[in-house]
Structure formats: C-alpha cells, structure tokens
C-alpha cells in the first residue's frame, strides 16, 4: 500500500471533458441552492412576518443568513486546502439542508432567525468552494469553455428567486403546508441531488497534510464581519448612521479587522495569508469583486422594487420581467468564455463589462412612471451583459495568478470581498432610497396640498405609513395624489442609480490596471498541481 506522500506524487491525468461535466453538474446544483436563497426569501418575507407577527425582527431573517454565510466564506477555502474539497463541500450541502428543513418547520420568529443562520453557514461553503473546485479541475486557459454554465446559474437564480418566492407567498397553502414554507423545503430535493452528484463525480485528489487550524484568526474574522454587518444592515438603516449603536458597531469592525490582520501576519496557518495582497492581481480582483458586488447588487435589487411600486406588478410578474437581465449574463458568460479559451486574452472583458454595467445603471436613472417595459428590458440587458463579461473573468485572472497551494484561500477571499461589497451596497442604496423618499414625498404632498387640497381627501397618516410595505394602499388615493407619490418613488430610484453608477465607473478605471498574464494550459496547470501536492509532504 502506498503512503500518502507517495500518493501525492503519483502522476494523474487531467480530467476528461465528460468527467469535468460530471463534476460541474454537482457544483452547479449546489451553487444554485445558495444563489437562489439570496433572492427567494426576500420576496416571501412579508408573508412570513404576517404569520409570525414579527415585524420588529424581520431584518434579522436576512441578516442572520448574511452574517454566517459571509463570515464563513474565507474559512471554507482554507479548511478545504487542509482536509480536501469533497468532504468540506458536502458538509456545506448537509448544513444548508438541515438549516432549510428547520427553517421551513419554524414555529416562531426566533426559531426562523436561528435556523437561517445555520442555512447561511452552509451557503458560505457552497458559494466559495464551487469556484475553488473549478480551479482544481480546469486550467485557466480551458476554463472559459465552461464559464457560461455558471453564468447561467447566476442568471437563473436572479429570475427564479423572485418568481418562486412570489408564487409560494401568493398561495396560503400548498399540499397542506403554508405556502411560504416551500421556499425552504424546495431546497431539499436539489440538495440531495447535489450530494448524489458530488459523491459520484467529485473525486479530486487533494491529499491531507499536517496542519494547524487558526482558531483565533477564525474567531476574529467572524467577530469583525458580525460587527460590520450589524452596523450596515441593522443599526444603520434602523437607528440612523450617526446613532451610537451604529458607530460602535462600525468602529468595532475596524478595530477587529486590524487585530485580525496583525494576527494573520504571525499565524502559522493563517485563514487569509497576508502575503497574497503582495500579488497585484489578487489585490486588484479583490477590489473589483467588492465594487461589482456593491455597485451592481446594491442597485439591481431596486429594480424589482421599482416594478412593484411604480408599475404595480406582483412579485411573480416582476421576477419574470428580469429575464432580459438573465439573458445578458448567460449570453456574455458563454461568449467571453469561448473567446478566452480560443485566444487566451481576458483583460478586455472586465473593462468592457464594467463600461456596460455603468451605462446600464446610468440609463436606469432615466426611468419614469410611464417608461415602457421594452426600454427597461434594454437597460437590464446591458447590465446583465456587463456582469456576464466581468464576474467570472476576474476569477479566472485571480486563479491564474496565485500559486496552486493558495488556490482555496485566494478564491474564497475573492468571494468574501464580493459578498461584503454586496451587503454594504444593499445597505447604502437602501438608505439612499429611504432618505430621498423621506425628502421627496413630504415635499410633493405639501405642494399638492397648496395647489389642490381636495386631492388629499381620504389620505391618512396611517395610509402613508403603509406605503413602505404595501403599495396597494395607492389605490385608495385620488389620481392626483397617486401621481405625486409615484413621482416621489421614481425620483428616489433616480438617486439610487446615480449613486451606484460612479462606483461601477471606478471599477472600470481599476480594470484598466489589470495585468494580463498568459493563461496556464491544461498540461502546465496539471504539473503545477502535482508539484504543489508533492511539496505538502516534501
């Protein structure tokens, strides 16, 4: 029987196309679980809150998931470097499934929040390890051939999430179970399928090695992320950005981050090796991931809100109307991937992509109450195309630039920074929308009251308070008042998109400095992998 060291240095042939497709099938199902859950829950949240009478705690249903998924992301990469990809990935699937089942069976708001945290713990591994495993089995030069598959998963989740969430929440019961509970139960068959597929096909020869888990580093990064997300997702929007709770949370996040960095510089097995930041491509793609997450995700979540508030669409219909966005992501992911595999050049794609995203978001600021869906679809298509050209390409650039031994930690770090960016983006743009609406709406009402007092007939303070959560109240207003309110909504959306556009433009400027190195071929990448595994026991 060969020793682990001998096994590590055995020559293994790269996976065939058929074998790669087998691996990707399991990864895509697992990734779909996590990506879908980011959008499906928010659509049904109103119904859940009504059932549990938990309005005062509803933000924690989202925040608990974000806390554990974001904080655990960098941990999975490092742990999988030590213990192997498949067992850690399958642990993430099982954790996500347990959290999903328990969340669907929740009997009160406290239970739901706790079980959502368990769900998030699994989701952190699903999102990060998918890209790590892709880096294990496919060389950067060949990865573009398969890029469109994962672009399709992102695009599908962006449409299917709101669509399914709206469908389930619109039904009081399905098969004798409350409709909203199916947003969690629907994960179970997909998760079981992912377990079966990964057990059958995910046989990556990552050898275990002597290791020392950086428990203190893990504890510090969890605390830092928790403090940051409490500040930007809970206390800031809820109590105001100058409130003592918000300031304390953000200062705490900064201090904990500094302590984390200082500790990681001395740690024997750091969760996030600080020497990676000396790599130009790693630092730049991490910053790009953050900006794409903040500028894109923060602004795009406003699009379904615009469709529901201004156009009066249901949650289900607004989900369907995001299909052009999905088509843009899928088509350009496939196109850019094929071009990268054919020519080996990748720098041009994030540059062009971020230009398209910036143009699309800027055009969103021209939306009006009577803007046609055809026009909006073009804007959404542009943004989707830009994302299809950018998101997967920067991961290819990153994985091509780091040593194989750091693949897990570097890839997970990139996912981590994108998650942090999207969380901060949602919080900031949500605050911009709320604050601007708080300015435009009173001004519009005061102006209407001065010009046509009769238009305010039947409008009560309680009715205006309901506007935040229920646009149906608009139907009780006079036509003049309804028009003023809708215009205030539109003006607020304008400010959100005009705030997001400069961020993605900064991303475009940063992409210009991306260094394009020759992409490693399958043979060279396979040799580097074998060498890295041999050094583990050298």
Residue 243 shares a structural domain with residue 183: no
Overall domain count for the chain: 2
Q: What are phi and psi of 10, to 5 degrees?
A: -60, 145
Q: What is the CATH number of the domain that holds 199?
A: 1.20.1250.20
Q: What is the pLDDT of residue 11?
A: 39
Ranges assigned E (strand) in 38-176:
173-174
Is 469 among the domain residues? no
Q: What is the pLDDT of residue 506?
A: 94
312 φ/ψ sector (left φ>0, alpha ψ -120 to 50, else beta): left
> Of 247, 268, 289, which one is at a domain's C-terminal end?
268
Q: What is the pLDDT of residue 507?
A: 93
Residues 6+ apart with CB under 8 A from 525: 14, 139, 140, 141
Give the torsion sign (CA, 389, 394, 396, 397).
positive
Residue 191 shares a structural domain with residue 130: yes
Q: What is the pLDDT of residue 59?
A: 65
Residue 223 shares a structural domain with residue 291: no
* Alpha-carbon dihedral angle through residues 386, 392, 394, 395, given to the nearest 10 degrees: 170
CB 535 within 8 A of CB 14: no
Residue 264 shares a structural domain with residue 313: no
Residue 208 shares a structural domain with residue 326: yes
> Of 268, 283, 302, which one is at a domain's C-terminal end?
268
Residue 27 shares a structural domain with residue 168: yes
> Of 241, 268, 295, which one is at a domain's C-terminal end?
268
Q: What is the pLDDT of residue 9?
A: 36
Is 286 among the domain residues? yes
Residue 347 shares a structural domain with residue 414: yes
Q: What is the pLDDT of residue 537?
A: 40
Block mean pLDDT (10 aa), the chain, length 538: 40 67 84 79 71 62 80 82 84 94 87 89 87 80 72 74 78 77 89 88 62 80 86 80 90 94 88 89 93 75 81 77 85 87 88 95 92 93 91 87 82 85 81 85 85 76 65 76 87 91 93 87 57 48
Is 466 among the domain residues? no
Q: Helices 280-292 and 348-364 sit at what angle, rounded to 10 degrees?
A: 20
Residue 537 DSSP label: T
Is 117 among the domain residues? yes
Residue 219 shares a structural domain with residue 98: no
Separation of alpha carbons 250 and 231, rounded Å: 6
Is 280 among the domain residues? yes
The whole domain housing 239 covers 214-268
């Amino acid at each position: 029987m060969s020793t682990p060291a001998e096994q590590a240095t055995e020559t293994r042939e790269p996976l065939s196309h058929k074998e790669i497709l087998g691996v990707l099938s399991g990864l895509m199902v697992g990734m779909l679980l996590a990506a879908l859950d980011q959008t499906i829950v928010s659509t049904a949240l109103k119904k859940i809150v009504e059932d549990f009478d938990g309005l005062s705690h509803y933000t924690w249903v989202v925040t608990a998931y974000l806390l554990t998924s974001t904080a655990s992301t960098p941990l999975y990469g490092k742990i999988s470097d030590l213990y192997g990809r498949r067992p850690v990935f399958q642990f993430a699937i099982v954790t996500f499934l347990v959290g999903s089942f328990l969340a669907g069976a929740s009997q009160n708001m406290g239970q739901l929040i706790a079980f959502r945290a368990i769900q998030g713990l699994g989701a952190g591994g699903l999102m990060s390890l998918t890209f790590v495993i892709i880096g294990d089995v496919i060389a950067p030069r060949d990865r573009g051939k398969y890029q469109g598959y994962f672009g399709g998963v992102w695009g599908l989740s962006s449409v299917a999430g709101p669509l399914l969430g709206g469908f389930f929440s619109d039904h009081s019961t399905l098969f004798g179970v409350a409709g909203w509970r199916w947003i969690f139960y629907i994960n179970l068959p997909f998760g079981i399928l992912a377990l079966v597929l990964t057990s059958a096909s995910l046989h990556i020869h990552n050898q275990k090695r002597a290791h020392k888990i950086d428990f203190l580093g893990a504890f510090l990064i969890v605390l830092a992320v928790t403090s940051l997300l409490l500040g930007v997702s809970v206390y800031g929007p809820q109590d105001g950005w100058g409130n003592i709770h918000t300031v304390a949370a953000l200062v705490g996040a900064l201090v904990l981050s500094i302590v984390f960095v200082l500790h990681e510089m001395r740690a024997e097995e750091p969760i996030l090796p600080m020497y990676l930041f000396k790599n130009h491509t790693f630092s730049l793609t991490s910053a790009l991931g953050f900006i794409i997450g903040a500028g894109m995700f923060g602004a795009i979540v406003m699009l379904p809100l615009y469709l529901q508030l201004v156009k009066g669409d249901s949650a289900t219909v607004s989900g369907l109307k995001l299909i052009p966005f999905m088509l843009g992501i899928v088509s350009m992911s496939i196109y850019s991937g094929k071009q990268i595999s054919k020519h080996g050049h990748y720098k041009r794609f994030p540059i062009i992509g971020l230009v398209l995203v910036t143009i699309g978001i800027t055009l969103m600021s021209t939306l009006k109450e009577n803007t046609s869906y055809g026009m909006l679809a073009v804007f959404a298509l542009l943004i989707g195309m830009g994302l299809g050209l950018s998101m997967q390409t920067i991961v290819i650039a990153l994985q091509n630039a780091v040593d194989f031994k750091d693949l897990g930690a570097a890839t997970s770090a990139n996912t981590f920074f994108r998650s942090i960016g999207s969380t901060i983006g949602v919080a900031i743009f949500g605050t911009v929308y709320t604050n601007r609406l708080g300015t435009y709406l009173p001004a519009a009402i005061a102006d209407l009251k001065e010009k046509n007092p009769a238009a305010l007939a039947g409008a009560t303070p309680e009715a205006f308070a309901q506007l935040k959560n229920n646009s149906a109240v608009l139907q009780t207003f006079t036509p003049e008042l309804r028009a003023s309110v809708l215009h205030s909504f539109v003006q607020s959306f304008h400010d959100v998109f005009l705030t997001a556009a400069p961020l993605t433009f900064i991303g475009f400027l940063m992409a210009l400095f991306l260094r394009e190195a020759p992409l490693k071929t399958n043979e060279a990448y396979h040799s580097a992998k074998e060498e890295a595994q041999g050094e583990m026991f050298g």
